[in-house]
Amino acid sequence: MKFERFEKDLTDNIREAQLKLGYDGRPMSLNYMYTTLGHLLGCSPEEEAVFAELSQFAAEAAPRFGQISYRKIRDGVCVTVPAEGTAFVNGGTTGGEFIAELIGAVSRHGISLDEVLEVFRRHGEISVEESGCEDFDYLVRFSGGKPDEHFYCLTLEPCMGGGCHVTYHRFIPEDYAELFP
């Protein structure tokens, strides 16, 4: 399928938001930069090319997601998935997938880095590197891109009363390479 990578990313982002905010049966809008869409859709990051690919994707994905819409925003595109699409994503997940476990873990205060890394290890072989930059503390990724290809930037934040809180941001490999050369 031509749009497999974009559909997986879209589905992953919807699922992540549903886990963090709850599923409410409503449409969801996600903002993407042109460069990110170029990588995910396998096209030029130019506006015309991205919109042409999104039009094809929306037509192909309509049986699963309903009528996806998109509009230009500053430096990118706002992609809106209708309620039937967010229901499709919600209905196709078990709650036992990696992202559900990760969000559950990092939502707890006082969790250690080792406990968070154990969540990753339960789902695949991982690589862990100290970042060497002030934006985050550790880079974690799955070897071979399974269960996902994202680069996870973990930050250890001190908590009052001891312990720590771990936060994360995730990027597709190309965006990570552009942001942290």
In angstroms, the CA 16 to CA 3 distance is: 20
Q: Are both 29 and 84 inside the same structural domain? A: yes
Query: What mean pLDDT comes out for the span 95-122?
Result: 90
Sequence letter at residue 24: D
Q: Are both 138 and 85 inside the same structural domain? A: no
Query: Domain of 83?
Result: 4-91
152 alpha carbon, distance to own chain's centre: 10
Q: Are both 81 and 121 inside the same structural domain? A: no
The count of structural domains within the chain is: 2
pLDDT on residue 91: 92
**Cα-flanking dihedrals φ and ψ of residue 164, to 5°?**
-150, 170
In the predicted structure, residue 97 carries a pLDDT above the cut 80: yes
Q: pTM (2 decimals)?
A: 0.91
Question: Looking at per-residue confidence, does 39 or 132 come out higher?
Answer: 39
> Measured between alpha carbons, how far is residue 13 from residues 23, 31, 110, 161, 173 in Å?
13, 10, 26, 33, 15
Strands (E), 28-162: 28-33, 69-73, 76-81, 126-130, 138-142, 151-158
pLDDT on residue 163: 59
Q: Are both 61 and 81 inside the same structural domain? A: yes
Strand-pair partners of 70: 79
Q: Are both 102 and 173 inside the same structural domain? A: yes
Q: How confident is the model at residue 162 (pLDDT cuts 50, 70, 90)?
A: low
Question: Do residues 56 and 43 lie in contact, with contact meaning Cβ atoms separated by under 8 Å?
Answer: no
**Average of per-residue pLDDT values in the chain:** 93
In angstroms, the CA 174 to CA 40 distance is: 9
Q: Are both 60 and 115 inside the same structural domain? A: no
Q: Are both 87 and 11 inside the same structural domain? A: yes
Which of the listed residues 62, 91, 120 is the one where a domain comes to its end?
91
Which of the listed residues 58, 91, 124 is the one where a domain comes to its end?
91
Percent of the chain with pLDDT over 90: 83
Contacts of residue 29, defined as CB under 8 A and 6 or more positions apart, other chains included, come to: 78, 79, 80, 81
Tens-digit pLDDT profile for residues 52-96: 999 999 999 999 999 999 999 999 999 999 999 999 999 987 766
Which of the listed residues 71, 91, 111 is the one where a domain comes to its end?
91
